[in-house]
């Protein structure tokens, strides 16, 4: 059992939570507010639009490249500042940015996600914003995405990685 737990801990490395203390109840409200702001940006910048994603893959508009590109530049500057100034988290912990190891899955899985991205016009984040902004039928897409995630988890050890 101990071994299994350790294994499972190692598995959870995609968007890890480095905070030592668990957070419950009101402590989670800050993530709700951040999510709300993020959802508003998604809709107002039309990132949730199937048409904007089509423009991106048809190279007819700079919009999505501008959004993702400037988000990355902002992220790079922020992370460099956090590292160089030794900024700590609100709980006073050292900020921990985990290393992503290269796996073949990043190529195979990446291609598969890309195929789906152009069909649905959404990555996982915009799926939630689409549902919220009244495209309730996207609940079907979200459920299918959960099914896809489950299927990957079920066969993860049999796939080349």
3's CB contacts (< 8 A; 6+ apart) are none
Among 26, 84, 85, 140, binds another protein (CB under 8 A): 140
Taken as a whole, the chain contains a residue count of: 161
Among 26, 84, 85, 150, binds another protein (CB under 8 A): 150
**Helix 105-120 vs helix 138-155: crossing angle, to nearest 10:** 170
Minimum distance between the CB of residue 120 and another protein, rounded to whole angstroms? Answer: 4
Beta carbons of 118 and 37 less than 8 angstroms apart? no
Distance of CA 90 to the CA centre of its chain: 22
Question: And the tokens for 110?
Answer: 């990446």
Q: What is the dihedral of CA 117, 11, 22, 125, to 10 degrees?
A: 0
Q: Binding to another protein (CB under 8 A): which residues in 62-91?
A: 62-76, 78-79, 81-82, 87, 89-91
Q: How many residues bind another protein (CB under 8 A)?
A: 133
- Contact characters 88-127, another protein, x per CB under 8 A: -xxx-x-xxxxxxxxx-xxxxxxxxxxxxxxxxxxxxx-x
Token pair in block for residue 77: 């500057």
Kindly tell me which residue out of 28, 84, 85, 86 binds another protein, with binding defined by CB under 8 A: 28
Exactly one of 26, 33, 84, 158 binds another protein (CB under 8 A); that residue is 33
Q: How far is the CB of 95 from another protein (least distance, A)?
A: 5
Q: Would you count residue 3 as binding another protein (CB under 8 A)?
A: no
Cβ atoms of 83 and 9 within 8 Å: the answer is no
- With CB under 8 A as the contact rule, the residue among 2, 7, 26, 85 that binds another protein is 7
């Amino acid at each position: 059992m101990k071994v299994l737990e350790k294994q499972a801990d190692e598995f959870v490395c995609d968007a890890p939570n480095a905070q030592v203390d668990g957070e419950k109840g009101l402590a989670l409200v800050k993530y709700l507010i951040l999510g709300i702001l993020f959802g508003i940006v998604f809709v107002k910048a039309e990132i949730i639009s199937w048409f904007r994603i089509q423009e991106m893959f048809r190279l007819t508009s700079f919009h999505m490249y501008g959004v993702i590109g400037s988000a990355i530049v902002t992220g790079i500057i922020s992370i460099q500042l956090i590292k160089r100034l030794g900024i700590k988290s609100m709980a006073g912990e050292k900020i921990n940015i985990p290393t992503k190891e290269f796996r073949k899955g990043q190529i195979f899985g990446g291609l598969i996600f890309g195929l789906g991205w152009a069909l649905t016009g959404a990555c996982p984040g915009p799926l939630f914003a689409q549902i919220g902004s009244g495209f309730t039928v996207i609940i079907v897409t979200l459920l299918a995405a959960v099914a896809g995630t489950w299927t990957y988890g079920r066969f993860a050890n049999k796939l080349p990685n």
